Amino acid sequence: MLPSDAGLENARSVVRECRSLCVLTGAGVSAESGVPTFRGTGGLWRNRDPMSLATPGAFAKDPKTVWEWYRWRRELIRECAPNPGHEAIARIEGEKEDFLLVTQNVDGLHRLAGSRKLVEFHGSIWEVRCMDCARAEEVRSDFPSLPPRCPSCGGLLRPGVVWFGEPIPQAALAASLSMIGRCEVLVAAGTSSVVQPSASFALSVARRGGTVIEVNLEATPITESARFSFRGKTGEILPLLLARISHQRP
């Protein structure tokens, strides 16, 4: 069930009229592409909670098991394609003077959909980095054996993602905070808004008088900071919210 025309039309005109637009996405935007979310059903692997795997400690203790989880996700994501939500975000990028997409997703689907002005706030599941010589590269193919070893020095390779307890990469953090400090409108789509520091972005924008628009299946901790909060699928609502012309239903 799509939100009322009036609400969506108001929000759409706010998005159209603003000069500076930031979009923050979470796992919910990739759910309709078939990528399991972190906290929803289907997000678990071998009944393990992602929170117990996506940490430096888990990797130090058992790199092979952590890599089996990432191999399973990489295999699954490799078969997934961007959905209309990703495509709508990629389209509006070129229509705004000042635009930035901050994604918490590590699946690479935004880039595949054509987004270029984006920050991968939690890194990329396609990047691997050597724990010894810091050599980093994008590897989309599978590995002959796990855990994978560095072709330069034989060191242990890790996924190029940000684990819990690890700092956000400096450049990604700086670019995101600068945009959060200046954007007129923040669209927060498909995120449970529980993971810091990105979970605080909506409140920061609202506190300085910016407009927050949320799209989510459920209410979240940022819902009360949002001027508009639409209940529904990002793949259905984002194409309407970010459209150039209104899609008045017949």
CB within 8 Å of 118: residues ≥ 6 apart: 100, 101, 102, 103, 110, 111
Q: Does 151 bind Zn ion (CB under 5 A)?
A: no
CB within 8 Å of 145: residues ≥ 6 apart: none
Task: Find out whether 120 and 156 touch, Cβ atoms under 8 Å.
Answer: no
Q: Does 167 bind ligand BV8 (CB under 6 A)?
A: yes
Q: Does 84 bind ligand BV8 (CB under 6 A)?
A: no
Stretch that binds ligand BV8, among 14-22, 127-135, 205-213, 215-223 (CB under 6 A): 215-223
Q: What are phi and psi of 138, to 5 degrees?
A: -90, 125
Number of residues that bind ligand BV8 (CB under 6 A): 37
Instruction: State the nearest-atom distance from the C-beta of 50 to ligand BV8, in Å.
Output: 7
Encoded one letter per residue, x for contact with ligand BV8 by CB under 6 A and - for no contact, window 86-115 reads: ------------------xxx---------
Q: Does 45 bind ligand BV8 (CB under 6 A)?
A: no
Binding partner at 155 among Zn ion, ligand BV8, none, C-beta below 5 to 8 Å by kind: Zn ion
Task: Find out whether 241 and 12 touch, Cβ atoms under 8 Å.
Answer: yes
Q: Say whether 86 is catalytic.
A: no
Interatomic CA distance for residues 77 and 161, integer angstroms: 15
Stretch that binds Zn ion, among 18-26, 53-61, 76-84, 151-159 (CB under 5 A): 151-159
> Smaller CB distance to Zn ion: residue 152 or 178?
152
Binding partner at 217 among ligand BV8, Zn ion, none, C-beta below 5 to 8 Å by kind: ligand BV8
The candidate with the shortest Cα–Cα distance to 214, out of 248, 237, 236, 245, is: 237
How far, in Å, are 104, 120, 163, 204 from residue 196 at the CA level? 11, 15, 12, 13
Task: Find out whether 2 and 237 touch, Cβ atoms under 8 Å.
Answer: yes
Q: Does 152 bind Zn ion (CB under 5 A)?
A: yes
> Which listed residue (33, 115, 124, 216) binds ligand BV8 by CB under 6 A?
216
The alpha-carbon radius of gyration of the chain (Å, integer) is 19
Binding site for ligand BV8 (CB under 6 A): 26-28, 31-32, 37-40, 43, 54, 104-106, 122, 161-168, 190-192, 194-197, 215-218, 220, 233-234
